[in-house]
Chain A
């Protein structure tokens, strides 16, 4: 079955460490997105990519980096510059199909905790 796989489901980071969250999709979607979710704050866009080798900053990109070397992969690195990284991270993808626009498909999320 097609879908989006995020790994790991739980991740622990020590102070000063960089960590990378994986997001892989086999839906052949063009666009991919990273969101951060904190309790009571909804979804906040970190980065997005419409095509391979191109990406744009979202609303809260500081302290994060991404790459899009392959259509199916969009990893997110949480750097040591991100001072409050504890959150739930969601990856999503979308495409414009022949039937129109279908919205996003989401992964199951990665919960990152600073220890």
Chain B
């Protein structure tokens, strides 16, 4: 069984500052890892995913994440926050074969002017 822990249910950063959203996972098999973003009253949109290959994954809107097997982590980063990045972010894990994702509890990102 898989599980996901997102550290920090609320994160605030100033506009232009580094964004770091933390995600740790537990999986008994090589994981597939995902980050989704949700804007108010909308569905979730895929930001990026790691399945195999390069451990540094680039996504949309300037976000990237690095898969670190030794740390069982998949933290999401963006060098410079923009006001439009304010949203809720969800990390998710799957073992691939199950075709079912396990989601973290989400991190609400606030960007301060």
A in complex with B: yes
Residues on A lying within 8 angstroms of B by beta carbon are: 4, 6, 30-31, 33, 40-43, 48, 50, 88, 90, 92, 94-96, 100-109, 111
B90 interfacial contact with A, CB 8 Å: yes
Which of B's residues lie within 8 Å of A, judged by CB?
9, 32, 34, 36, 41-46, 49, 51-52, 90, 92, 94, 96, 99-101, 103-106
Docked Cα-Cα span, A98 to B34, in Å, equals: 19
Interfacial chain A residues near B45, Cβ < 8 Å: 106
- Return chain A residues, CB-CB under 8 Å to B36: 106
The residue on B at minimum CB distance from A96 is B99
Q: Report the separation of the CA atoms of residues A100 and B30 in the bound assembly, to the nearest whole angstrom.
A: 14
What's the least CB distance linking A34 to chain B, in Å?
Answer: 12
Question: CB distance B42 to A42 under 8 Å?
Answer: no
CB distance from B53 to the nearest CB of A (A): 10
Q: Given that A43-B103, A100-B52, A101-B99 are contacting pairs, would A109 and B90 also be in contact in the complex, using a CB cutoff of 8 Å?
A: no
Beyond A42-B106, A100-B96, 9 additional contacts (C-beta under 8 Å) are A6-B43, A33-B100, A43-B103, A95-B99, A100-B51, A100-B52, A101-B94, A103-B49, A104-B44
> Would B101 and A109 count as touching, CB distance under 8 A?
no
Q: Are B49 and A102 in contact (CB under 8 A)?
A: yes
| Assembled-state Cα–Cα distance A104/B45 (Å) | 9
Contact check, A103 vs B101: say whether CB atoms are below 8 A apart: yes
Residue ID in chain B nearest A103 by CB atoms: B34
In the bound assembly, the distance between CA atoms of A102 and B101 in angstroms comes to 11
Residues of chain B within 8 A of A43, CB atoms compared: 90, 103, 106
Chain A residues within an 8 Å CB radius of B94 = 101, 103
Distance A50 CA – B106 CA, assembled complex (angstroms)? 25
Most B CB within 10 A of own CB, among A41, A101, A102 = A101
Are B100's CB and A108's CB within 8 A?
A: no
